[in-house]
Each structure stands twice: as C-alpha cells, then as structure tokens.
Amino acid sequence: MIHYPYECPNCDYFVLEPASWFTEHENCPECGAVVEKVIGAVHRRGLNPVFHKPIEMFSVAPETPGEMAAFRRALPDVQLTDQGVPLARTRAEKLRILQAAGYEEH
C-alpha cells in the first residue's frame, strides 16, 4: 500500500499513512489544524516557504546527551531552544529535521 506524508502546517505533527487515513483524520491530533498532504502543500506554497514563526519540533527533540551529540553532528546549523527543542524556520528545514530523525519523505 502506498503511504503518503501528511503534515500539520501549524505544528510539527507528521505522519506517513495511506490515502484512506486522511478521510478520517483531517485535523491534527496535536493542535486541531487541518492536516495537509505534503506533496500538494509543496506545490501550493512554493518550494521553501518561511514559517511566520519558527516551529518547535517537540516530537524529535533529542533527549539524552548522546542523542544531542548525534543531532548536532547531523544538523549543525539547526537552532535549538533553551530546552533543546529543534526550531524549524522553513519548510525545507523542517523536512531535513524530520529526515534526520528517521522519517523519510516520499
């Protein structure tokens, strides 16, 4: 079965699910915003839109010193909050962070 990447335009929620998932889960379970299929969203919003406010990516925040070191090696240019939460300033940066955390874009 083909899985599509879906993301919330408002927070860092991101899933890979079959097309049928979307008909039952239109709203982000984290914040309630309408979830978008990534490919369509790229097409509509341009290749690398800048977020009006950086997204704090809690779900992929490194938790141990080892994870933090690995994160810094993989993404040396990504900004972290004081709490160690990665900040995505653009859509491309968000996807890079998700990919480094183990998600793959299709």
The Cα 33–Cα 40 span in angstroms is 16
How far apart are CB 46 and Zn ion at their closest, in Å? 20
Q: Tell the residue number behind the tokens 């990447």, with chain if given.
A: 5
CA 65 remoteness from chain centre: 22
Name the phi and psi angles at 93, rounded to 5: -65, -40
How far apart are CB 5 and Zn ion at their closest, in Å? 14
- Answer for which of 11, 15, 68, 74 binds Zn ion (CB under 5 A) is 11
How far apart are CB 30 and Zn ion at their closest, in Å? 4
30 near Zn ion, rule: CB under 5 A: yes
